[in-house]
Structure 1
Amino acid sequence: MSNCLVVGGGIIGLSLAYELARRGLSVTVVEQGEWGGQASSAAAGMLAPLKEFSSTGPLLDLGMDSLALYPQWAKELEAYTAGDVQLSLDGLLTVALNEREEETLKAKYKWQREAGYDVQWLMGKELQEVEPLLTNLATAAIYSSKEGHINNRMLLRALVTACQQMGVVLHAGCVVSRLAHTAGRVVGVDTTSGPIRADHTIVCSGAWAGIMLEMVGVSIPVRPVRGQIAAVSSVGIPLRTVIFGTSGYLTPKKDGRIVIGATEDESGFQREVTLAGLASILQGVMPYVPALHAATFLEAWGGLRPATADGKPLLGEVPGWDGLSLAGGHFRNGILLSPITAKRMADWIEKGQKEPLSPFLPERFLNADEPSRLINR
């Protein structure tokens, strides 16, 4: 019997398992498919809270706190695995191609500067100095010099290896059929591989989190949003900088790829790449870097991102049940938010520290007069 059972082997579940094991707790992880096979793989590894979030507040603060953890976190993982996770915090551009986009971008720049963030407004030759391959049709850009990206595939492999070295018990291809409970307390899960019991169970099952919680009569809205993404070769296209535009993004990786994307499709639990999705991705990015017309296409893939009704993640205890917590709903920011999610969830599980999680508690989706346990316990 473990101290902790993590249900879900994506970036959030593996990060939490690693953090709990570092603190001396015994941990088991169950994953229904492959490690990081859903939202974690449908990602470009962006570490860009100032680009992702549209205003100051708890969500941006969470993103900035997580970004600050990344250098040391990546260094620790590389030490465990003797591998490179290709962390790059060399800056990124958010680009406007016309006056209308420029006005929108200028408003964002204004509040970010007023909030004290380190961003620059670039125009003309300044843009070409930062990224020579950027189209000369670009009118302006926000340059955020301390944001960047990581190779999410290498990060996932590093986390699996680090968990193994820390003694975490890993079960892939293991489907949960039931959240086991007695007298109002969740005591683990029943799976296709047999029962697994733990003092504390944490649901980190991404787009499936809502389905998982329905097993104990808790209705918290988490829905899947398909992300389709592609990669081209960077041979002959020496892109320096991450570029964000209104119709797509480009992320140059150290492994010879430029990752481009991405769609947001309401397609239920279908994760296949569609021709329409692929066309949207390719057409969306080429206006920003004309040299992409000659790029060699490498691959395309898709995954399911877990979205919530208010755009904020779900972190903390599941109301009405002892021994059950939730870490999910990160949508397209699971890579960015993984180290801070792991730290704060581990602080809750190990030390009972609930206050840092207060803006993200699952209870916000339950009415005060609604019973949170709807089944016979």
Structure 2
Amino acid sequence: MGHRVTVWDDRLSAGELAALAPGRPEDLDRTPDVLIVGGGAIGLSAAVFCLRAGLGRVVLIERAERLAPGASSGNGGAIAPDMHLLTDGPEFVAFGRRSLELYRELDAEWGGAIGTWETRWLDIRPASTVPFGPQPASASSAAPLPGQSLSGTPLSRRPLRDGPPSDGPLLGGPLAGPRFPDGPLADRPLPGGPRAEPPFPDGPLAGPPFSDRPLPRGSSPDGPPSRRSLPEEPSPDELLRDRPPSEASRPPGPVPDGSHFDDPQPDRSQADGPRFDGPQRGGLWLLDAAAVRELEPDVVPPDGAIAVLAERQLAVNPLRLAAALAPRAGQVATGVAMLGVTMRGDRVAAVHTNVGDFSPGALILATGLVPAPWDVGVPQRWVKGHMLAVAPGPWRLGSVLAGPFGGGSPLPDGTIVCGGTFDEGDQTLDVYPEIADPMAAALATILPAAAGATISRRWCCFRPYIEGRQPVIDRLPGVSNGWFAGGHFTTGIMMAPATGAALAAWIGSGTAPPPVRSFTLPR
């Protein structure tokens, strides 16, 4: 057994470590306009976007002594919404894509404080599990011509399902005055300055239902029982689902048969291998084994395997993310635990904590799972998962590897993060090498140079699972000034900015933004 020290803990500056443990301010605001309970990625993002939306004074409380104490720091740092074209409906993918865009915008605005880096994903799996249009691209020794794959033929792509664009701003658009006409802040003093209008795209986002299958011990939510469902982003054995690219990412010119695009792939800062000509971001490609080897010479796909390629995704050190969000999240206090609430009609009038009471205008519970008294009848649980890190070694790897054979996510220094498992029924905090280490062995099945590599870290965390395996962004039942955001399971880091922006828009307007209307609390 081991203890919980993640690969991220020793990669922070002294200033970042200090930002994660602010303690309790002496002048803690007891009557904030918005009180947020929970200091993980979701809660911190909600605080940041409430401030950016002009919703007044914001206070965030976290019961632990450090921010991001749970799944928000124990995950793999993946921000890869395009991989969810394999598993989830269009509203989920669109929401994740907007979150990715917000990461890019915030990191640029804050001078790189978040520290995201670009990633490329290769999901390697048996060809029989991916009926994905025409034959996959093949490799060739000749350089590709514009509009061609490495084999000199158009790179095939499955036609994508009609659906709403994902490139609309969440908090853009004209600025309204400092008014809260119908929301829970209507009876509170008005903060100075403008706020952004609720700016989500119009119209409901329909999509297929999410899986509600139970999670057997040691299994992936959507795949067969396995200790090595890799990496943190899910990789189930389901058919690819279609979705259209956003207008911003749609290539110019006609698409004659809907099966391929012929615009050049944009530059990739993380790629050193051959460049593919084909769809821009938002597209998935199929590659045969030879094309995989040309892109990643040290990767050896098993016989009969092909790869699904997604480019221009992101990754982040989740602790660095929390340290970047915290100074921009209003007043933040650690070591403050919510004990209960007092209702007055349909409003939360007081939030009781171990350091006294708060009387907020609006309350956001970013607690992972729904807390009492609103948890009655909610099918939810914590799901433990193991992760590990492999120390840098004598291999070249520029892509995140995923799929049923094994995989891992390379960090900029050459470390590879593997994980995680789904350990149903294990509620201990112990780290078990016999559960974690097979992930390193699985990595070596497709990256043979990693055989026998040194495991530098093992850790575990508990992810919040709510039946349906989709995030929940909804009002608290029967509460006019309270919201819950949680159940993000393995996608909390990916979905954090869009979740925070949605909550801010909802609180400011009193109306649920259309893209989150399907992310409701199961009852």
Question: TM-score under structure 1 normalisation?
Answer: 0.85
Deviation of 1:45 (Å): 1.1
Deviation of 1:160 (Å): 1.9
Identify the range of structure 1 (116-125 vs 11-20) with the bigger mean alpha-carbon deviation: 116-125
* Structure 2 unmatched runs, 5+: 1-30, 134-156, 159-239, 246-281
Question: Which residue pairs with 2:428 in the alignment?
Answer: 270
Deviation of 1:40 (Å): 1.0
3-state SS of paired residue (1:266): coil
Identify the range of structure 1 (49-58 vs 148-157) with the bigger mean alpha-carbon deviation: 49-58
Identify the range of structure 1 (303-312 vs 120-129) with the bigger mean alpha-carbon deviation: 120-129
**The one of 447, 452, 457 aligned to 1:299:** 457
Instruction: Give the aligned residue type for 2:397.
Output: L
1-side partners of 2:297 and 2:501: how far apart?
39
Identify the range of structure 1 (265-274 vs 244-253) with the bigger mean alpha-carbon deviation: 265-274
8 Å contact kept, 1:234–1:252: no
How many residue pairs match? The answer is 348
Deviation of 1:114 (Å): 6.8
Q: Does 1:71 align with 2:104?
A: yes
After superposition, the Cα gap between the structure-2 partners of 1:106 and 1:134, relative to the gap in structure 1 and judged at 3 Å, is farther
Question: Which residue pairs with 1:361 in the alignment?
Answer: 520
Runs of 4+ in 1 over 6 A off after TM superposition: none
Question: Which residue pairs with 1:320 in the alignment?
Answer: 478
1-side partners of 2:505 and 2:95: how far apart?
15
8 Å contact kept, 2:409–2:417: yes
Deviations 1:321-365 (A, max 9, x none): 121100111110011111111111110011223142210122xx2
Identify the range of structure 1 (229-238 vs 6-15) with the bigger mean alpha-carbon deviation: 229-238
8 Å contact kept, 1:31–1:173: yes
Q: Does 1:137 align with 2:298?
A: no
Question: TM-score under structure 2 normalisation?
Answer: 0.62
8 Å contact kept, 1:187–1:201: no
Deviation of 1:255 (Å): 4.2
Question: Which residue pairs with 2:80 in the alignment?
Answer: 48
Identify the range of structure 1 (189-198 vs 260-269) with the bigger mean alpha-carbon deviation: 260-269
8 Å contact kept, 1:41–1:302: no
Question: Which residue pairs with 1:126 in the alignment?
Answer: 291
Q: Does 1:203 align with 2:365?
A: yes
After superposition, the Cα gap between the structure-2 partners of 1:217 and 1:329, relative to the gap in structure 1 and judged at 3 Å, is closer
1-side partners of 2:451 and 2:366: how far apart?
39
8 Å contact kept, 2:87–2:241: no
Deviation of 1:60 (Å): 2.1
Q: Does 1:154 align with 2:187?
A: no
Instruction: Give the aligned residue type for 1:202.
Output: I
Q: Structure 1 or 2: larger helix share?
A: 1
Q: Structure 1 or 2: larger strand share?
A: 1
1-side partners of 2:131 and 2:101: how far apart?
25
2-side partners of 1:217 and 1:231: how far apart?
35
Question: Which residue pairs with 2:347 in the alignment?
Answer: 185
Deviations 1:161-195 (A, max 9, x none): 333xxxx1212122211123222311342111221
1-side partners of 2:404 and 2:41: how far apart?
27
Question: Which residue pairs with 2:115 in the alignment?
Answer: 86
Instruction: Give the aligned residue type for 2:102.
Output: L
Q: Does 1:173 align with 2:203?
A: no
Larger Rg: 2
2-side partners of 1:348 and 1:114: how far apart?
26
Deviation of 1:246 (Å): 1.1
In percent, how many aligned pairs have the same letter?
Answer: 26
Deviation of 1:154 (Å): 1.5
Which one scores higher on RCO, CA 8 angstroms, separation ≥ 6?
2
Deviation of 1:112 (Å): 5.2
* Structure 1 unmatched runs, 5+: 367-377
